[in-house]
Amino acid sequence: MQKQNRLILALDVTSREDALRVAEAAREHIDAIKINWPLILAAGPEMIREMSSVKDVICDLKIADIPNTNRLIVEQAMARGASAVICHGFPGEDSVKACVEAAKGQVFVVSEMSHPGGKQFTAPVADRLAALAKSVGARGIVAPATRPGRIAELRKTIGPMEIISPGVGAQGGKASDAIAAGADYIIVGRAIYEASDPGESAKALADEVRAALQAGRA
């Protein structure tokens, strides 16, 4: 994944036609496409391969099982051209390790989730989940753009690992706040794929990210 626009498109649409339309429109303003269950269930797992010809694909299956099942899931995703996968940390170290081994390190571990319910169970253990991601050699963590202060705190735990951050737009977070707090990439779904002009919306977000980076350097 090239770190150019620092924008990951969450392609949670439910038809192949919409996926192609939105991905093509946003293409030049994004660094990766995140594919989750809605698209895979609607249009089939071959969407991973098809989208990987547009941009790097992060397969967001939020894998959360025993080590052997985790390994089997990751192998299937990688075999279809995924560049990285996303797993949960709560099943424990052995389960996350199985993902990291099967994906050759290309794993992002969910820490504190971005929605209101994320405060209930994930927030109290988010620092431990981030520490686990670091100790098993994952690539990065997922941290909430809806609570930028938490991005900055989790950064202290993981050091230079990557932070990818959902919650911008429809969930109320701001791209510039997430970037200023230390996110490497923002993840955006509805604010792009529900926009009347997804390309324009992606461009505006990428511009906002660039401006936040420049302000941080000034």
Closest CA to 84 of 65, 51, 108, 61: 108
Q: What value, to the nearest 5°, has the Cα angle with vertex 88 and ends 112 and 31? A: 80
The residue within the footprint of ligand O7M, chosen from 47, 133, 187, 209 (CB under 6 A), is: 187
Residue 91 within binding range of ligand O7M, rule CB under 6 A: no
How far apart CA 146 and CA 41 sit, in angstroms, is: 27
Residue 166 within binding range of ligand O7M, rule CB under 6 A: yes
Please choose, out of 39-47, 152-160, 166-174, 201-209, the segment that lies near ligand O7M by the rule CB under 6 A.
166-174
* Residue that has been written with the tokens 């990818």 in this structure: 164
How far apart CA 38 and CA 135 sit, in angstroms, is: 31
Nearer to ligand O7M, 141 or 212 (CB): 141
Residue 36 within binding range of ligand O7M, rule CB under 6 A: yes
- The rounded Cα 200 to chain-centroid distance in angstroms is 21
Closest CA to 206 of 191, 11, 18: 191
Q: Which residue has the CB atom at the shortest distance from ligand O7M?
A: 189
Helix (H, G, I), strand (E, B) or coil at 100: helix
Residue 171 within binding range of ligand O7M, rule CB under 6 A: yes
Active site residue 62: yes
Please choose, out of 42-50, 99-107, 181-189, 208-216, the segment that lies near ligand O7M by the rule CB under 6 A.
181-189
Nearer to ligand O7M, 77 or 142 (CB): 142
Q: How many CA atoms lie within 13 A of 116 on its CB side?
A: 1
Residue 26 within binding range of ligand O7M, rule CB under 6 A: no
In this structure, the chain runs to a length of 218
Residue 188 within binding range of ligand O7M, rule CB under 6 A: yes
For the bound state, the minimum distance from the C-beta of residue 218 to ligand O7M, rounded and expressed in Å, comes to 28
Residue 133 within binding range of ligand O7M, rule CB under 6 A: no
Nearer to ligand O7M, 30 or 214 (CB): 30
Query: What six digits make up the tokens of 17?
Result: 């036609």
User: Which is catalytic among the residues 3, 55, 62, 134?
Assistant: 62
Any alpha helices (H) in 27-163, and if so which ranges? 37-43, 46-52, 67-79, 93-102, 122-135, 148-158
Q: Which residues bind ligand O7M (CB under 6 A)?
A: 10, 12, 36, 60, 86, 110, 113-114, 118, 142, 144, 166-167, 169-171, 187-191
User: What positions carry a catalytic annotation?
Assistant: 62
